[in-house]
Copies of this chain bind each other. A is one copy, B any other.
Amino acid sequence: MRYFPNDPQTRQEMLQRIGVSRPEDLFAAIPANLQLTSLLNISAPRSEYALLKELKAKAASYPSELPSFLGAGVYRRFIPSAIAPIVSRAEFLTAYTPYQPEVSQGTLQAMFEFQTMLSLLTGMEVANASMYEGASATAEAVMMAKRVYAKGSKVLVSAGLHPEYLETLRTYLSFGDLELVLIPLQANGQTDLEALKAQLDETALCSVLQRVNFYGVIEDASAHAALLEGFKALNIEVLPEMTALGLLKTPGELGVDIFVGEGQSLGLPVSYGGPNLGVFACKAEFMRKMPGRLSGMTEDSRGERAFCLTLSTREQHIRREKATSNICSNQALMALWVTIYLSLLGKSGLRQLAQTNLTLADYARQQMGAAGLKLRYSGAVYNEFVLELPCNAGLWVDKIQHEGLLAGVNLNRFNAEDESGLLLSFTELNSKQEIDLLVSKLKELL
């Protein structure tokens, strides 16, 4: 076994020093009836060559080469080649949580830079070092709201929230006594703020709004914020497609209390939806109520700038059952990845990227409109929108796959009654040419 360094003779020496004759003797504390007497029913050891061959065969079922309009919470991004070689440097890859700051300044400074980068991007005062991913981070935001506003009990949630986030939130809430109230969308695809208003009272714990909502429509976040004024309910913004912040007003400017994002959209591989990256930021006043790790700037014994984990008294390893979250291992490497991505992209790059997404989606809307196809919602969009197909979306998507396009997400997946909705996403990896091809396929339906 190529991973085990001690040869049989060395092992004998070690066992001798320990005072046993076989390694099995070391397990004497395990009752005999619990000890396995035969090998596990798992395949025999296999060579690296054979395994890579099998892995490639398995991966080959995915048609990577096809133009794709799949989004809906996980976005295809151009990923510069410069990121992976840095992230996979053993010093980042094979270290763990920087508990010992003297030998972890690289991780700690990168975490601090991530926090800063996300603060700059969101306009929020404090960002943490990562959560698992967007959906559970949304649940954490609601739980944090409860720590901030103990009297609140009603969780107001826009129906524009990603269905999987919503389902996750429901799961988290189902064991406590918070009540989840769903606020419907209007015909234009924006959240019905009147309906929200009707629910606002002192029992309202928070209002959860996905700013570019699941159906691609940009919410009127200022109006949302204005509505919440005068209530204790916290303003929680969710944003899976974070590149929208290359154009859209920051949650910070909009008075958001807690911001939750999905960092996958900032240059992480799609990777079947994981590992992804929960982005979590809030107002400074709530800092000590926040979940997750934080890197702080401090000094070393020589008086030089240094970094260390800080405000750990919020965390499970100190606070145990009273911690602000149970999170321990998190998405540190993904946060590093995103930090490098944003460093490379930079100020002007981010803007250009967002405008590119906007341009492509707009071109598609125009072309589809011109072709007589029906858009489900009229609200302004960023890089996604819903098409109302004149046929069964699932069947059409499967058919079109064989014609060489991954045409979009069939909304039936999230709503059994929705048979015609197709959610299309446009990123910098798409082109006019691909959109023209898509439109030509769609035209065949008319």
Contact = CB atoms under 8 A, between A and B. Distances in A.
A48 B89 contact: no
Contact of A48 (B80, B85, B90, B429): B80
A21 interface: no
A414 interface: no
A88 interface: yes
A192 to B, nearest CB: 40
A2 B85 CA distance: 17
A81 B429 contact: no
* Identical copies of this chain, number: 2
A305 B67 CA distance: 58
Contacts of A52: 81
Interface in A303-352: 344
A49 interface: yes
A82 to B, nearest CB: 9
A78 interface: yes
Nearest to A52: B81
Contacts of A429: 49
Interface string A395-430: 000000000000000000000000000000000010
A78 B429 CA distance: 34
Contact of A78 (B2, B49, B85): B49
Interface in A1-24: 2
Nearest to A346: B2
A78 B88 CA distance: 22
Interface in A52-83: 52, 78, 80-81
B88 A48 contact: no
A54 to B, nearest CB: 14
Contacts of A85: 88, 90
Contacts of A88: 85
A10 B2 CA distance: 53
Nearest to A80: B48
Interface in A233-252: none
Interface in A85-102: 85, 88-90
11 contacts: A2-B344, A48-B78, A48-B80, A48-B81, A49-B78, A49-B429, A52-B81, A85-B88, A85-B90, A89-B89, A89-B90
The 7 closest A-B pairs by CB, nearest first: A49-B78, A48-B80, A48-B81, A85-B88, A89-B89, A49-B429, A85-B90
